[in-house]
Amino acid sequence: MSAPLRALTAAAAVLVAATACQQPALAEQAYRAPEAAVRAVEPAGRRTAVFAGGCFWGMEAVFSHLNGVTSVVSGYAGGSRAQADYETVSSGTTRHAEAIRVTYDPTVIRYDQLLQVFFGVASDPTQLNRQEPDVGTQYRNALFPLDREQARVAAGYIAQLRRLDPWKRPIVTRVEPGQAFFPAESYHQDFALKNPDHGYIRRWDAPKVAALQRTFPQFWKSSFTPG
């Protein structure tokens, strides 16, 4: 693990942060996840959703290219405010997962459609406490419903995917309602936008963004929505 980030300058912290996402690897194959049988019924106005699926750089990069998404913020979910900092979460000893908070317009893209992207492109729901090449509970695959409707839709969609069994492996995605979200340090925000030539971004996250465009063209937008 890297040296304590509190002791580093912001510029040096970015370099150290690269080790947290470990070594570059190829993105998993995209899956054209089906439309949800249980659709979200959401009131007009901006809504938020929280997802965890490995290193938050890649999750942020994918969801920032969706029509109807107005903000994506990298952060931590599942643990306490006192432990919501990069150094502590990276130790793997907290309940936190690296996560993103997505703000979206449900008249353009619904919560169940965000789930299509989450399961189809953004993460592999069959990897327990990891998203290759990142290992640890902080990289677990998890949904953090913010209300009963999101919890209902999430449960329905996971059940639907389990019936289809497209991966031929068990889905291990956790549903963890009632957890607070805490934004990550500023140098993690919009990381793929600011560092497109970073080795990890090019080898791991850029393929996911390309897969999003190819697999879900109906949701795709070319511009990156900053947090």
Higher pLDDT, 26 or 81: 81
How high is the pLDDT of residue 133? 87
Q: Judge whether 157 and 36 are in contact, CB under 8 Å.
A: yes
Is the pLDDT confidence value at 166 over 80?
yes
How high is the pLDDT of residue 82? 97
- Spot the catalytic one: 17, 55, 100, 192: 55
Please name each of the domains of the chain with its CATH number: 5-215 (3.30.1060.10)
Q: Judge whether 36 and 160 are in contact, CB under 8 Å.
A: yes
Q: Give the span between the Cα atoms of 64 and 171, in whole angstroms.
A: 25
- Give the residue-averaged pLDDT of 144-149: 98
CA distances from 222 to 209, 210, 214 (A): 10, 10, 12
Is the pLDDT confidence value at 13 over 90?
no
Active-site annotation holds for 21: no
- Here the tokens at position 85 are 């900092």
Is the pLDDT confidence value at 19 over 70?
no
- Give the residue-averaged pLDDT of 49-75: 98
pTM of the predicted structure, to 2 decimals: 0.89
- Per-residue model confidence as pLDDT tens digits over 99-116: 999 999 999 999 999 999
- DSSP conformation class of 204: I
